[in-house]
Structure 1
Amino acid sequence: MLRFDLVDLALFRHVVEAGSITHGAGRANLALAAASTRIRAMKTSLGAALLTRNRLGVTPTPAGRALLAHARGLIAGIERMQDALSAFSDGTVGQIRVLANTNALTEFLPDALAAYLAKNPGISVEIDEHTSDEIVGRVADGTADLGILSGAVDTGDLQTFPFRQDRFVLVAAGTHPLAGRAAVAFAEVLAYDLVGLDRASALTRFLADKAARVGRPMRLRVQLRGFDAVCRLVDARVGLGIVPESMARRVARGLDIAVVPLTEPWATRDLTLCLRDLDALPAFARDFVMHLRA
């Protein structure tokens, strides 16, 4: 008989989405030892392995993917119930659950979100950062109302709308050998030390996957929480960085850094809104989607 509680299911979801038991435990606010014990107990209860370890962290087995799908559905149901009931006690009219990749979350959502919330004081917006592939699955299974992701990702039967366009670029100190290049391939960048976001971030996991595909590891010397800090350490000659061009151009005005385009097609990012059914959303959520499109 299976003996999983909601803490177990939430922990497993966090571990898979973070690609690491350590980072998953942190997201679930559990000590690493406690999280490891729970994962082992889940494996014993099911009688099958749930995770496979690799040099980048952990990935779910077929049994783990099946468990993840059911866990997301159960947790989403609980969260919807909590959201609906909370409106009776805290004055909230409605809540919108949004998932966004790193680029959308840091560069485009803050201003759009601030403008919307200023006009809608009874609405709350919950935003989580995920990779584009993860966003598709979580919007499809009802965990989130809206996703903002790379337009290159297959969204299946989800409805989509254009959002913004940006691209990732290399930032290098003005004296670096790559600073004077018209463009540079990602494989060349991997020959140098890098400054980037922490390993649990959607962008770092995306770049680690691209590095693995060209057979070279990412040499992350420093891991930070924001792109501005990345550019400042690049300016201090700590390493190279890969950041959204919109942010790089803004920050570069006050720093001695060069902005160099990457040659790979994946560096150009058409950002897309995705959702299950616009007409099925509550009116306030439809208004939010229209606001983002505008």
Structure 2
Amino acid sequence: MRFDLTDLRLFLNVHETGTITGGAHRSHMTLASASERIKGMEDVLGVALLVRNRRGVQLTPAGRALLHHARVVLQQMDRMQGELHQYGQGLKGHVRLLCNTAALDEYLPDILSAFLAQHPQISVDLEERLSYEITDAIRDGIADIGIVADSANLQGLETYAFRPDMLTLITAKTHELAQRASLSLADVADYDFVGLIEGSALQEHVAHHARRAGKKLSYRIRLRSIEAVCRMVGQGIGIGVVPKTAAMRCARSSGIKRIPLTDEWASRNLLLCVRSADALPVYVQQMMQHILSAAKKM
């Protein structure tokens, strides 16, 4: 049985993207080449690894077994490269980092830019996801580091304090709610909202808790950035829920008023999570320590 690292990384990429086309694109090879490699792996094993259908591919039991071993092998190779980098030039480290909306918008750009400037040999895949998706990805070995809300299921993961992350209601200064001392989401769920685009981790979080309260939020407009949400709310288009740090930063320029939310879920902390810090490649450990150290200074 002879699989090379390209085969294993291709198979992992096919699983993560859900299609052979997506896996081929992420692996920087043609669809024909990727299909031939997958078929070659199946021929060597004498068993199907993927079930192909119109929507993409799914792993067979043999495919799931191969996926587990592929992750272990590739993680060990990444770790070896990180540890040997200090002895040679040209080796590069690659970190997969998943985070929620607040971490992506408010904290990580400054933190990561400083780290990457100091480590030109390291690259990062940074992706926004829901906290529960992040913890699943960390447990499955799909990502190296996650930044999540402390409400997520963290069983089996190592966690480290990152930053407090209070959520607050924002309104225009002239809005009828602007003089209220505090409110719950249920109190304001029938008003028009300004929100982030569908799929945003923060907006899904807010919508989830509205549904738990038996409410469905109505959006007049959905935008790509928290700053844009603040500006639109300041113009009186609707109300919104954003991180308190963002509301404070945008208050003067956007003309918004902050109103504390009384819901328990709005008072949360962000945590950094990994499967095992000791098992991470050296360069991932370095990034992890940089993130935690920089967060304490913010």
Determine if the TM-score, normalized by the shorter chain, exceeds 0.5: yes
Deviation at 1:75, TM superposition (A): 8.9
1:283 and 2:282 aligned: yes
Q: Is the 8 A contact 2:161 2:272 kept in 1?
A: yes
- Structure 1 residues 193 and 81, CA gap change in structure 2 (3 angstroms): farther
Q: Which amino acid aligns with 1:128?
A: E
- Structure 1 runs (4+) deviating above 2 angstroms are 5-13, 69-84
Q: Is the 8 A contact 1:10 1:71 kept in 2?
A: no
1:182-201 equivalent positions in 2, closer than 5 A: 182-201=181-200
Gaps of 5+ in 1: 14-36, 47-65
- Structure 1 residues 119 and 189, CA gap change in structure 2 (3 angstroms): same
Q: Is the 8 A contact 2:171 2:177 kept in 1?
A: yes
Deviation at 1:135, TM superposition (A): 0.8
Q: 45, 50, 54: which one pairs with 1:38? A: 54
- Structure 1 residues 121 and 9, CA gap change in structure 2 (3 angstroms): closer
Separation in 2 of the partners of 1:225 and 1:79?
34
Helix, strand or coil at the partner of 1:96: strand
Deviation at 1:113, TM superposition (A): 0.6
Q: CA RMSD in A?
A: 3.4
Residue 115 of structure 1 corresponds to which residue in structure 2?
A: 114
- Structure 1 residues 140 and 227, CA gap change in structure 2 (3 angstroms): same
Aligned residues between the structures: 246
Helix, strand or coil at the partner of 1:253: helix
Q: Is the 8 A contact 1:72 1:138 kept in 2?
A: no
Identity %, equivalent residues: 38
1:226 and 2:229 aligned: no
Separation in 2 of the partners of 1:254 and 1:70?
54
Q: Is the 8 A contact 2:12 2:71 kept in 1?
A: no
1:1-294 equivalent positions in 2, closer than 5 A: 9-12=15-18, 38-39=54-55, 91=90, 93-294=92-293
- Structure 1 residues 230 and 93, CA gap change in structure 2 (3 angstroms): same
Separation in 2 of the partners of 1:167 and 1:78?
40
Q: Is the 8 A contact 1:160 1:274 kept in 2?
A: yes
Q: Which amino acid aligns with 1:125?
A: V
Deviation at 1:228, TM superposition (A): 0.2
Q: Which protein shows a greater Rg?
A: 2
Deviation at 1:288, TM superposition (A): 0.8
Q: Is the 8 A contact 2:167 2:267 kept in 1?
A: yes
